[in-house]
Chain A
Amino acid sequence: GDSVTQMEGPVTLSEEAFLTINCTYTATGYPSLFWYVQYPGEGLQLLLKATKADDKGSNKGFEATYRKETTSFHLEKGSVQVSDSAVYFCAPTRNTGKLIFGQGTTLQVKP
C-alpha cells in the first residue's frame, strides 16, 4: 500500500536558518503531493501542493518540488521564523479516498 516517510524530529533551528524537511513516498501511479502544517492546539491546514512531476508548490516562503524520479517532496524555507514552529505533515493523495499522512516532523525555531 501507499506509505510516506518523513525525517524524524524534532528539528530545532535558530531564527533565519535554512530549513529542509525530507519526505519520500511510495504509491501506485502519480499522486498529488501535499504539505500540511499543524500549529499548536489546532487542526491541520494546507501549506502547499504540487499535482504533477516537476511542479513546485510554494506558500509563506516555503517551497517543495515534486520529484518523480526520487519519489520525494522535500519542504524547504530559506529563513525560518519563530512563528513557523509547528508540526509539518507530508501527504501523497490519490483518488482512493485513503489519504495517508507521514508521521509528522516537529519544527522548533528559537529566537
Chain B
Amino acid sequence: NAGVTQTPKFQVLKTGQSMTLQCAQDMNHEYMSWYRQDPGMGLRLIHYSVGAGITDQGEVPNGYNVSRSTTEDFPLRLLSAAPSQTSVYFCASSYLLTGGDEKLFFGSGTQLSVL
C-alpha cells in the first residue's frame, strides 16, 4: 500500500513548456485534489475530483487542466508554463468528503521551477 504517489519530485521548466504532474493513489479513494503551496499563501486548491469522470475547479485553476479517467490517477497538466507557476504542488486523496471525519492523505510534493 503506497498511499499517494507523486512524480516527479523536482522539475525545472522553461517558460512556455508544457508538462504533466502525475498523481496516483492505491486506497480506492473517490476524492482527489491538487494544491499549490507558496510562501505566505498556505495551500491553495487548484482542481479537485469526486470520482472518475468528474472534476471541478478550486481557488486557482487558471493555467492548469486535469482529468480523471480512472479512480487511481489524477494528473495535473500545465499547458504553457509561466514563472508564476513556480511552486510546490501537492496531490491529496480521501474517501468522499461528507463533512464527517474523512481525512486527506497527501503525496510528498513536486517542486516546480519555471524559468
Taking Cβ atoms with an 8 Å cutoff, the residues of A that contact B are 29-32, 34, 36, 42-46, 49, 51, 89, 93-104
Query: B40, B104, B108: which has the most chain A beta carbons within 10 Å?
Result: B104
Taking Cβ atoms with an 8 Å cutoff, the residues of B that contact A are 4, 31, 33, 35, 40-43, 45, 48, 50, 56, 58-59, 90, 92, 96-104, 106-109
Tell me the dominant secondary structure on chain B's binding face.
Answer: loop
Whole-angstrom CA separation of A45 from B33 in the bound complex: 15
Q: How far is the CB of B53 from chain A (nearest CB, A)?
A: 14
Residue of A nearest to B38 (CB): A103
Whole-angstrom CA separation of A63 from B53 in the bound complex: 39
Contact between chains at B108 and A97 (CB < 8 Å): no
Q: How far is the CB of B101 from chain A (nearest CB, A)?
A: 5
Known: A43-B92, A51-B101, A100-B45. 16 other contacts (CB 8 A): A31-B99, A32-B100, A42-B109, A43-B106, A43-B108, A44-B92, A89-B42, A93-B102, A94-B99, A97-B97, A98-B45, A98-B48, A98-B56, A99-B33, A100-B59, A103-B42
Chain A residues within 8 Å of B106, by CB:
43-45
Q: How far is the CB of B58 from chain A (nearest CB, A)?
A: 6
B41 contact from A31, A100, A103, Cβ within 8 A:
A103
Query: B31, B43, B100: which has the most chain A beta carbons within 10 Å?
Result: B43
